[in-house]
Every structure is written in structure tokens, then in C-alpha cells.
Structure 1
Amino acid sequence: MIIKQIYNNNVILSENEAGDEIILVGRGIAFGMTRGSKVVEGRIEKKFELQDDVGQKFKTLVQDVPYKTILVSEEIIDYIKTQSTKRINDSIYVTLTDHIANMIERIKMGIVFDPTLLLNVKSLYKEEYRLGLKVTELLRQKLKIDIDDGEASFIALHIINAELDSNMQQMYEITAVIEEILNIVREDFQIDTENGQCDRFITHCRFFAQRVVNNEYLSTKSDYNLSTYRVFEQTHPRETACIERIAQRIKDRYGYTVSTDEKLYIMIHLIRLTE
């Protein structure tokens, strides 16, 4: 195999025997190499042969995610595919890898989201939630960090979104809410809706939109991360104004009151999009 492109020292792009692009991951796999060099087989730890749109998005993602996180995510996804009773779309390689990378950053920042944000996941999606709990425990073991059980609900939603037999009508409604959010962001910022960062922003907004569509209100008014949100108000006033406009639009159109935790959740990913 020949190196087609070097993303970083640990991730490269090559081709398989059929001529399809393949992403190769391994510690120092590109060390001392250039485009056109022959791949050192002994440095390959994982191969990703993802096709079409998923492959393109994954190529963008792996340029920003530490290679150890990519390897752990691949192990987790393989576990999900073997344990789930449903077919899992390869899109999970993009969405769950990105989620795990962001989860690690959130934990380092000391941000923990109120579990009631996804209160109904446990009762509505029992199989996926149980699998999410197992995945959470595996992540604790592999990453050696303290991960709250509440993370299981987020992971469960990634599994649900990757199931090939998802509820399309609900997805249409969720898409409409996301489009409302994007319209407001476009009014306030110049963004490229075709780039990878926008795809990732949309993925994270989907969880919020799902609660709006299902009228999954919080059991209590949560100010779990109010002090953190106040800091962002001072450091990112434009993004804060945009978030408040989004919250007002959602309230006016869908009758849904957006909590502080939900605003902070969207804020973090909006900042990434607009940096």
C-alpha cells in the first residue's frame, strides 16, 4: 500500500487492493514518510474502509481527534455492533467517535450535564440504554477517567440514530427543528454548511431537537451549570446572543423552554463552529 495523504503522524490515507480509499491508524505510522511512500505494515493498528459520505466525514474528523481516542472508539463501536440486535449504520464511526472526543474534553473542563436532560431515554429506548451503560463502563476502564452514568443516555442516542430502521417521520420533524437553529446561526455568523464542523454541530443539535419534538421536558428547571454559562456570557457575547435567540424561537414556535444546561450544551458546539 502507498501513502496518498498524511493527516498527522498517526493517521494516513491509502488504498486497498480494489482501489478504494482506506484510513490507516497507528502510532508513528507516518513518521519519516512522505506522500508516495510505501506503508510500513507493522505500524498499522486499525484500518477503516468507510464508503461515500461517511468516509468523507470520517476523513475530516480523524484529523482533529487524538489517535488513541480513535482506537478506543473503534473498539467500542465493534462492541456495539456485536451486542445490538439491530443493524448499525457506519455513520456511528463519525458521530460516536466525535462524541467520545468531546466527552473527554468536557470532563477535563469539569462540565457534567444534568442527567434529566435525557430523562426519557432510559424508558423509551431500553435496549439502547442498557448498551449505553455497558459502553460507559468500558470507556471508564479504557480511558481511566471518571465518567458519570448519565453519559449512557447520550451514547444510547448515538446508537438509536445509527440504527437503519429509525423512525423517519420523527427524523423529518427533528430536521425541521435543526433547520430553525441553523437559520438563526446563519443570520449571526458566516458559516460554511458544507464543512465537517457544521456536520458535527448538527449532530449535537439533533439530541436537543429530539427532546423538542418529543416534548421531553426536564422534570425540574436545571441550573446545573449556571455559573459556567455566566462565564461564557462574558467571554463569548455574540454566541450567547445567538443562543438566546434560538431559545426564544424554540419557545415561540414549539412551546419548549430551553434550560441553562441545554443552552450551554449548544453553546460549546457553536463556539467550535464559529472559531
Structure 2
Amino acid sequence: MYKITKIINNNFVCSVNEKGEEIILRGPGIGFQKKSNDIAEESKIEKIYSMSSKSMLNKLQSLVDNIPLEHIQVCTEIIEDIKLHLNKKLNDNIYITLTDHLSFAIERQRLKLEYKNALLWEIKKFYQTEYQMGLRALDIIKDRLGVDLLEDEAGFIALHIVNAELDTNISDMMKITTLIQDILELTKNYYKIELDEESLHYERFITHLKYFGQRLFQNKTVKDDDFQLQKMIKTSYSKDYQCAEIINNYIKEKFHRELTGEEMMFLTIHLKRITME
């Protein structure tokens, strides 16, 4: 049983759950002719939105009051589909960021003002699973709304998904994508080889770089703990460590940050693995 605390519009109301946390209820006519302290009709509840903070809940309230209901319904369906097939924890903020983005993209398509995605090639390469989910999302939008968005939007959706996985923002995700591409180019130039993009070690390296990029742009660091192991890695894999130093110099020059010994060690190990193949 949910007591209404605020009416957003005919289809959205605020309430609280059994833990006393503020939530938003969605359903056709759930707020029609209702007022605060009325009980929401459970038969009308289609979706319960629970956000991790008051500010996020306020943003969601503002969003649902300003974009078409069908956009919210379709975007929620897309996010639930992503959660089901991706099997990864996503930041609830995706209900705000992706819904806002897709509603705007649908409106831009109507006005013939669609954006090109300058990072589409990199996104397809580095975030393959998330990109496939982006393509699924485009199919859902076409099926539900009759709107045919460009493939570029699948790339933008993929960035929003990775953003929700890493708990960062879309601007940082674009920087991380460029960072990964630059590090791969430095690596290929140093070893003078092409990397096996189908290998497990390559996939692990990309994953490492994603989380490394997240730490870099959120000003987080990995603590230096095992100095003996770091010294052993530096000595045993001296060629790979030199490549890590080139990458470190690039980071210092471009982002004015320096890798810790622990980061250098992890980077060296990944470089060794992907070049052994």
C-alpha cells in the first residue's frame, strides 16, 4: 500500500516505500483526481522508481513532468532490457540520463537535427556488448514509437550504459574512450605489432583501461602497497615496463597526473599478457 505524498501529473505520483524512502510511481491515471495522503491504486502501478538520493529523485520528477509519457515508458523498457541481458549493476541515474538523452534524440530526429557520433568506431570496438544493447534499444524505439534513429545513437546509448556501470558521467566516458584509443596506439607503436582484439587478454586489458580511466578522471588512485612485487615486475618485465613509462609520460603531459607504482605494475602485467600472444 502506497500513500501519495505529491502529485507530479496524471501519470506520476510521489510516495514512500516500506523503508521510508521516497519513490515515484508510474501508471495511467494514477494521479488523476488524487491528492496528498490518498492511497495509490495498486492496480494502476506500472513502475516504481527508487533513486539513491533526494537530488536524483528531484531530477527524475522534473524529467517526467516535462517529456512525453511514451518516451518515459519506452526508455524504462529499454533500461529494464539492458539490466536483464547485461547482468551488471547499473547506477540508477541511467533512468534520468538515458531517458533525457533519448527523448531529446527522438525530438531531434523529428526536426531532422540528428547528431553524428565522432567516437562511434571506438565505441563499437571497446564496448561491444553495450553497443549491441544500443542496437536493441533502437529496435525497441522503432517498434514502439515508429522512430528510426541513426546507428550513431546506439553508440551514445552504449556510452550511457558504460557510464552507469562505472558510475561516472558521460563527459568522462568520452574522455575515457579517447584515452583507451590513445593508449592502444602507443602500445602498438612501441611493440610494432597488431593486437589480437579477439583474445581474452585484450578484453581484460580494455576492461582494466576503463576502470583506470574512471580512477583518473575521478581523481582516485590505487594505493602503493607491495613495493617488493612492484620492483620484481619492473625487473622481470623491463621491456613492458618501458612501455608503461611511455604511457605514464603521456598521462602526465595530457592530464597532469602520474601513475602510482601499483598502477604501473598492473599496466605492465597487462602489456606483457597482450603481447605474449
Cα distance change of structure 1 residues 17 and 211 upon mapping to structure 2, 3 Å threshold = closer
Kindly indicate whether the alpha-carbon contact (under 8 Å) linking 1:11 and 1:67 is maintained by their aligned counterparts in 2: no
Tell me the equivalent position of 1:200.
none
Tell me the equivalent position of 2:3.
2
Tell me the equivalent position of 1:64.
66
Equivalent-residue separation in structure 2 for 1:210 and 1:111 (angstroms): 27
Amino acid at match of 1:40: E
Structure-to-structure mapping, 1:1-275, within 5 angstroms: 1-52=2-53, 53-164=55-166, 205-206=171-172, 209=175
How many angstroms does 1:205 deviate by?
4.7
Give the gaps of 5 or more residues in structure 1.
172-202, 217-252, 255-275
Kindly indicate whether the alpha-carbon contact (under 8 Å) linking 2:7 and 2:31 is maintained by their aligned counterparts in 1: yes
Amino acid at match of 2:25: L
How many angstroms does 1:204 deviate by?
6.0
Equivalent-residue separation in structure 1 for 2:87 and 2:35 (angstroms): 43
SS at match of 1:163: helix
Equivalent-residue separation in structure 2 for 1:9 and 1:86 (angstroms): 33
SS at match of 1:48: strand
Equivalent-residue separation in structure 1 for 2:129 and 2:57 (angstroms): 28
Equivalent-residue separation in structure 1 for 2:116 and 2:179 (angstroms): 20
**Which digits, 9 at most, give the CA deviation of each residue in 1:162-187, with x for residues without a partner?**
114x7xxxx6xxxxxxxxxxxxxxxx
User: How well do the aligned residues superpose, as a CA RMSD in angstroms?
Assistant: 2.5
What TM-score do the two structures reach when normalised by structure 2? Answer: 0.58
Kindly indicate whether the alpha-carbon contact (under 8 Å) linking 2:75 and 2:98 is maintained by their aligned counterparts in 1: yes
Cα distance change of structure 1 residues 48 and 8 upon mapping to structure 2, 3 Å threshold = same
SS at match of 2:149: coil
Tell me the equivalent position of 1:250.
none
Q: Which has the larger radius of gyration?
A: 2
Equivalent-residue separation in structure 2 for 1:210 and 1:109 (angstroms): 31
SS at match of 2:151: coil
Equivalent-residue separation in structure 2 for 1:94 and 1:114 (angstroms): 22
Amino acid at match of 1:95: T
Which moved further from structure 2: 43-52 or 121-130?
43-52
How many angstroms does 1:143 deviate by?
1.6
Aligned-residue sequence identity (percent) comes to: 37
SS at match of 1:120: helix
Kindly indicate whether the alpha-carbon contact (under 8 Å) linking 1:25 and 1:67 is maintained by their aligned counterparts in 2: no
How many angstroms does 1:92 deviate by?
1.2
How many angstroms does 1:117 deviate by?
4.6
Equivalent-residue separation in structure 2 for 1:209 and 1:28 (angstroms): 43
Kindly indicate whether the alpha-carbon contact (under 8 Å) linking 1:29 and 1:40 is maintained by their aligned counterparts in 2: yes
SS at match of 1:22: strand
Amino acid at match of 1:55: L
The aligned length equals 182
